[in-house]
Amino acid sequence: MKISKTQFINDIKVGDTVDSFFIISEKQVKKKKNGEDYCTVLLQDREGMLEGVIWTEVFLKTGSFLEGDLVETKGVVREYKGKKQIVINMIKKIEKDGCENLSDFIKTTDKNIDNMFEEMLGFIDSVENSYLKKLLNNFIEDKDFVKGYRSSTAAVRYHHAYQGGLLEHTLNVVKICSMLAGIYDNLNRDLLIAGAMLHDIGKIKEYSSGITLKATNSGRLLGHIAIGYGWVREKIGQIGGFPEDLSDRLLHIILSHHGYYEFGSPRRPKILEAFVVYHADHLDGDIGGFNAILENTSDDSEWSDYARNFDRRVFVKKLNSREESNNKKAGKNIKGHIKEKDSSEEDSGQAGLF
């Protein structure tokens, strides 16, 4: 069966009838109070995810399908717990051979991967410490590493959760760190750049890079901090004479980059470069998370749905561009004004978490 996809997740609104193709990202068979089976699914296309429910009477007539399968789906979209949910009245597995373009179903960075990778090589070139430069170059000469570094996701959900997301996120963290090294002259730029580049490499093995984004068994059992620590330690061991103090500091950055024990960090930052990588990482995670919310919120909404990563709804209404240009004409600094207001607002009590 030849398929061509025309209806994508971002265009689908509450009340719409859906007749389209998706990948099953998650499937859970559940029981009602009366013991009858029903099923919830997470449908995926290149634009994101859509929750779905298949009630008992439809589910009993539905043939088998599994996570990762391509399905034809029909249903109607309702609002459920503040989110869009499709109530499915027909779902059928389709052979992937009939699909001309699987990229319709796989979310990928909208940045150019070759350009991002070139930029990253430029940062390696700028490292002056010979041991750190050798270490970074050894990673780049490892073909399997490069393949994963270029294509991995940075997460299954919340921020940079798409193919190429790890490279995009890591490059952002490297750029933020490089900029901060230009402001604070007591930072060791080489250590900072190396720590930023390597802080999340464990994610290459933590997530599988198939059609759906999934944690691997190693990822579930070890987590990306432990995997990354082991990988960097192994590569350091291959470089004769690598100074122990430098090795400890670099490994410390990896072990402490989540900042706090409750966020899965086995160490808390104890050198300045580790504080900086932690903050740069968290900042880019928040910006990526906010952008993902913007993408999944319709243009006419003022507030997002409840966002678990921020434990709040966020204000997504666009600043009125006419007001903006009037203010510019009147010589007001709009960005400065917004920043001042933000810092005095109710959520400042959360600051300790970030």
Q: Which stretch binds Fe ion (CB under 5 A): 14-22, 274-282, 303-311, 320-328?
A: 274-282
In the complex, the smallest distance separating the C-beta of residue 13 from Fe ion, rounded to whole angstroms, is: 33
HSE (side-chain half, CA atoms, 13 Å) at 268: 5
Helices 165-183, 272-295: axis angle to 10 degrees equals: 130
Under rule CB under 5 A, residue 200 binds Fe ion: yes
What does DSSP assign to residue 40? E
In the complex, the smallest distance separating the C-beta of residue 218 from Fe ion, rounded to whole angstroms, is: 15
Q: Which stretch binds Fe ion (CB under 5 A): 130-138, 156-164, 245-253, 273-281?
A: 273-281
Q: Which is nearer to Fe ion, 91 or 154 (CB)?
A: 154
In the complex, the smallest distance separating the C-beta of residue 265 from Fe ion, rounded to whole angstroms, is: 9
Helix (H) or strand (E) holding 48: strand 48-54
Dihedral sign, Cα of residue 70, residue 76, residue 80, residue 83 = positive
Q: Which is nearer to Fe ion, 214 or 282 (CB)?
A: 282
Q: Within 276-305, which residues bind Fe ion (CB under 5 A)?
A: 281
Count of residues in contact with Fe ion, rule CB under 5 A: 2
In the complex, the smallest distance separating the C-beta of residue 277 from Fe ion, rounded to whole angstroms, is: 9
Q: Which stretch binds Fe ion (CB under 5 A): 9-17, 198-206, 233-241, 245-253?
A: 198-206
The DSSP code sequence of 66-125 is: -TT-EEEEEEEEEEETTEEEEEEEEEEEE-GGGBS-GGGSS-B-SS-HHHHHHHHHHHHH
Under rule CB under 5 A, residue 45 binds Fe ion: no
Q: Which stretch binds Fe ion (CB under 5 A): 62-70, 140-148, 193-201, 312-320?
A: 193-201
In the complex, the smallest distance separating the C-beta of residue 331 from Fe ion, rounded to whole angstroms, is: 39
Asked if 12 contacts 77 with a C-beta cutoff of 8 angstroms, the reply is: yes
User: What is the spatial distance between Cα 232 and Cα 244, in angstroms, rounded to a whole number?
Assistant: 13
> Which residue do the tokens 């929750």 mark?
51
Task: List contacts with Fe ion (CB under 5 A).
Answer: 200, 281
